[in-house]
Amino acid sequence: MQKRHQDKATYFEEQANTTRKYVIPFIEKFLTLNSSCKLLEIGCGEGGNLIPFLDKGCQVTGVDISESKIAHAAEFLKSHPEAKRLTLLAKDIYNSSEDLAPDFDLIMMRDVIEHIHDQDRFMGYVKRFLKSGGLFLLIFPPWYNPFGGHQQICRSRILSRLPYFHLLPVWLYRFILSTGGESKATIDGLLEIKQTGISIERFRKILKKHDFSIIQETLYFINPNYEIKFGLSPRKQSGFIVALPFIRNLFTTSVYYMISKIPQS
């Protein structure tokens, strides 16, 4: 699994394919994607998610705090026929107000919110970039799901396939990772995700606090991205499991949220 995550070109193509096949149809239920649509992706990484939006002629902006990832994105996307519609920024989103107008039709974050410290502060801040009536798409793995700790990045074949062990106490989790031969960088990264991982319930509370309304919430038992990674067909979560607080986190590998700001009276 580690090799796949280190292969930037492969990961770029996987992102593009999943977005094209599953994310775009989810969005198009609520928004027409064409040349008049302005998209902002926060945490765009190498830019794979942006290709399907450029294909549709959207005005696309990608922001990532990693300069190296933005450099890869620029290299991968420079030959796209609609590259003139692309803006890439290597910046912290909190320092991007001068670069980003508050007029985006759509903000997207795919598998990013679970890496952000203080998600409460973040959600209160980021809504300033949405135009009136704009939409915000967030996709993430609930922390308590079998691989919510992102242990699939482990070098060890056993640990990369071991479900739920990220829920162990920090000292035991660190011990297992170290004993399994993982590098300090991998261990530090996985322990950071242990701090920032987010549940469905906490995410809902944050949305309510910051006056977001949920337009659609879709829970997946089998993450759509697993089709590209593992050859598994996506499968939505059963209604019975969806209705069970906390339990739904344990058996949901991905959630898709389309939200919008509640208009102020």
pLDDT at 1 over 50: no
Domains of the chain (ranges; CATH) run 2-143+198-261 (3.40.50.150), 151-196 (no CATH)
Alpha-carbon distances, residue 137 vs 8, 87, 124, 130, 186 (angstroms): 24, 19, 15, 11, 28
Q: In terms of DSSP bridges, do strands 59-64 and 38-42 run parallel, antiparallel, or are they unpaired?
A: parallel
What is the residue whose two structure tokens read 């027409």?
32
pLDDT at 4 over 70: no
Helix count and strand count (H, E) for the chain:
13, 8
Partners of residue 42 on adjacent β-strands: 63
What is the predicted pLDDT for the residue at 265? 61
Query: Using one digit for the tens of pLDDT, what is the confidence trace for 156-183?
Result: 999 999 999 999 999 999 999 999 999 9
Q: How far apart are CA 221 and CA 201, in angstroms?
A: 17
Sequence-separated (6 or more) residues with CB below 8 Å from residue 237: 219, 220, 221, 248, 251, 252
The answer to whether the beta carbons of residues 96 and 89 sit under 8 Å apart is: yes
The answer to whether the beta carbons of residues 219 and 138 sit under 8 Å apart is: no
What is the predicted pLDDT for the residue at 196? 98
Q: What sign does the CA torsion over 236, 218, 154, 42 have? A: positive
Residues 248, 254, 258: CA angle, nearest 5 degrees: 100
Query: Using one digit for the tens of pLDDT, what is the confidence trace for 32-88?
Result: 999 999 999 999 999 999 999 999 999 999 999 999 999 999 999 999 999 999 999
Q: Where are the beta strands (DSSP E) in the chain?
A: 38-42, 59-64, 86-90, 104-110, 130-140, 212-222, 235-236, 254-261
Q: What is the mean pLDDT of the chain?
A: 95
Residue 155 CA, chain-centre distance (Å), reads 22
